Structures are given as structure tokens and as C-alpha cells.
């Protein structure tokens, strides 16, 4: 790799996909920092099998206390110790397409680069690893949903430049980070990459999602942090993720690692 890239990954009970993630990130990242949020599976054992992984387990706490921004600030603080050219933030159930390597290598040196952050199309794998969701609709609760990663969809995963003489930081008063988990003070300009690289999201084919536990946890977080109604929030997520208009396309071969 032309540049030093440090991957920053929050994780919880993702052993089912973590080996795939770490194997391919290890091929181009200088370091992979895992912040493990009290996993009950063998996440820690898997992490110790990869030389480039720096593993940390977060302290136990109320599981409804999301601490999303605090966890990412902890990752960022640890990543700064490696003085990377770029920080690459992903969740443990996400993987960039292989062309990310060539794409990063073609970036300008950080002493010349004018842009500070890049976001990527978010490909939601659905039903299996060979299909992704592309339909758009207005749900019965009024939520506008767009699953098409290239048309008005929410973006995920980002690469941010380690700007000389500038310290990135999160707003740690927020339990979840929006719009796409970036530090609150990331300076403009930003670029939304339109085609590739893409971020493959495996989470929607996990048992955690298929069982509905993901929706229950989200409702619990919002109840704890915002005082929101647990039942109303749970119903919101269930309705918004309806499959009534489900439309799938085949995953492109060039998005997959060999």
C-alpha cells in the first residue's frame, strides 16, 4: 500500500463474519483496531489470530446505554497513536469491495489532498450473500425508505484523512452518530463516491437481524437515551423494513474478494 491506513471497527458478537472481514482488511491496512463491546461469542479468539489486529474489550455497562459516539472516539484515539495517512471506519459486519486498494493508492499525498472525507455506497445483502436490496418506498408509518445504494440511499463506511495539525473528535453526548458515523468536526470538503468502491453490509443476512433482535435492541437504546416509547419504536423499525415491495439484484462479481 502507498499509504498507511488504520481501520477502526466497533464490534459485538460478530464472530460469524469477523474472519472474512479481518482476512481481507489485513491485506491492505497497516493496523485494524477492534473495539469489542462485551461480545459473548469467540470474537476475542478470532482477533488474536491476526497479526495486524489491535484488540480492546470495552467495560461492562447497561446494554441499553449505546455509547456509539464514545466507542468511536475511543477507536479514533487509539488510531492516532499509529499516525496513519487515513482512518477507515467500518462496522464488523461490513467489507469494502477489493478495488478499495487501488482507489486509495491513487489518492493524492496528504500534503496535497484537498478533500478530507469520502463516503461509499452501502450495499445491503439480503436473504443471502449473492443478492442485495434495491427497492424504494414510503412505508405505512410515513418513513421514506431507499435501499438502492446508488439512488438517494443512506451511506456507510468512510475514509477520513489525517489532516496535519488537526485533531478529529466525536460529539460524545450523542449515543448514536449521524449522518454516517463521522467525527463531528470533520472539515469539508467531503466526497460521496458514486459507484465504487462499495461497502458490502452482511448484517441484514445475520441471525441477529432475521430474528428481529436488532429491532428490539434499537428500541431499547432509544427508550434509554431519549425516553422514546419502546413499542412504538419497535413497530417503526418493523414497518420500515417491510418486504412488501422487496426487489433484489445479483451482487456484482467485482465486489467480492477472491
| Spacing of C-alpha 228 from chain mean position | 25
Q: Answer whether residue 174 shows pLDDT above 90.
A: no
pLDDT for the residue 186: 93
Decide which of 173 and 170 is more confident. 170
**Most confidently modeled of 27-41, 60-74, 109-123?**
27-41
Name the CATH architecture for the domain at 5-255.
Alpha-Beta Complex (3.90)
pLDDT beyond 80 at 175: no
Average pLDDT for the chain: 92
What are the tens digits of pLDDT across the range 201-230? Answer: 999 999 999 999 999 999 998 898 889 999
Rounded average pLDDT over 131-147: 88
pTM score, whole prediction: 0.94
75-95 tens-digit pLDDT = 999 999 999 999 999 999 999
pLDDT at 2: 93
* Angle (nearest 5°) at CA 58 between 52 and 61: 165
Examine the pLDDT at 106 and tell me if it is beyond 70. yes
Confidence grade of residue 179 (pLDDT, cut at 50, 70, 90): low
pLDDT at 58: 94
Cα separation, 91 vs 209, in Å, equals 15
Per-residue pLDDT, 178: 65
- Span 71-78, average pLDDT: 96
pLDDT reported for residue 188: 92
The three state secondary structure string of the chain is CCCCEEEEEEECCCHHHHHHHHHHHCCCCCEEEEEECCCCCCHHHHHCCCCCEEEEECCCCCCCCCCHHHHHHHHHHHHHCCCCCEEEECCCCEEECCCHHHHHHCCCCCCCCCCCEEEECEEEECCCCCEEECCEEECCCCCEEECCCCCCCCCEEEEEECCCCCCCCCCCCCCCCCCCCCCCCCCCCEEECCCCCCEEECHHHCHHHHCCHHHHHHHHHHHHHHCCCHHHHHHHHHHHCCCCCCCEEECCHHHCCC
Cβ neighbours of 89 (radius 10 Å): 24
Domain ranges of the chain: 5-255
Question: CA angle, 178 as apex, 27 and 67 as ends, to 5°?
Answer: 80
CB-count burial class (<10 Å; 0-12, 13-18, 19+) for 171: exposed
Percent of the chain at pLDDT > 70 equals: 98
Amino acid at each position: 500500500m502507498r499509504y498507511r491506513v488504520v481501520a477502526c471497527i466497533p464490534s459485538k458478537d460478530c464472530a460469524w463474519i469477523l474472519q472474512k472481514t479481518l482476512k481481507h482488511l489485513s491485506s491492505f491496512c497497516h493496523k485494524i483496531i477492534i473495539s469489542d463491546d462485551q461480545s459473548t461469542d469467540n470474537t476475542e479468539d478470532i482477533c488474536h489470530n491476526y497479526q495486524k489486529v489491535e484488540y480492546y474489550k470495552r467495560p461492562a455497562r447497561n446494554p441499553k446505554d449505546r455509547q456509539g459516539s464514545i466507542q468511536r472516539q475511543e477507536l479514533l484515539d487509539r488510531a492516532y497513536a499509529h499516525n496513519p495517512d487515513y482512518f477507515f471506519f467500518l462496522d464488523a459486519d461490513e467489507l469494502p469491495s477489493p478495488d478499495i486498494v487501488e482507489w486509495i493508492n491513487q489518492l493524492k499525498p496528504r500534503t496535497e489532498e484537498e478533500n478530507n472525507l469520502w463516503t461509499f455506497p452501502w450495499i445491503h445483502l439480503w436473504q443471502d450473500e449473492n443478492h442485495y436490496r434495491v427497492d424504494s418506498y414510503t412505508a405505512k408509518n410515513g418513513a421514506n425508505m431507499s435501499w438502492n445504494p446508488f439512488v438517494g440511499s443512506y451511506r456507510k463506511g468512510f475514509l477520513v484523512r489525517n489532516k496535519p495539525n488537526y485533531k478529529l473528535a466525536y460529539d460524545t453526548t450523542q449515543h448514536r452518530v449521524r449522518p454516517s458515523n463521522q467525527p463531528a468536526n470533520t472539515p469539508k470538503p467531503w466526497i460521496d463516491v458514486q459507484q465504487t468502491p462499495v461497502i458490502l453490509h452482511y448484517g441484514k443476512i445475520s441471525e441477529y437481524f432475521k430474528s428481529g433482535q436488532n429491532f428490539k435492541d434499537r428500541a431499547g437504546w432509544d427508550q434509554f437515551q431519549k425516553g422514546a416509547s419502546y413499542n412504538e419504536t419497535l413497530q417503526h423499525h418493523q414497518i420500515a423494513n417491510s418486504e412488501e415491495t422487496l426487489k433484489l439484484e445479483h451482487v456484482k462479481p467485482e465486489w467480492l474478494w477472491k
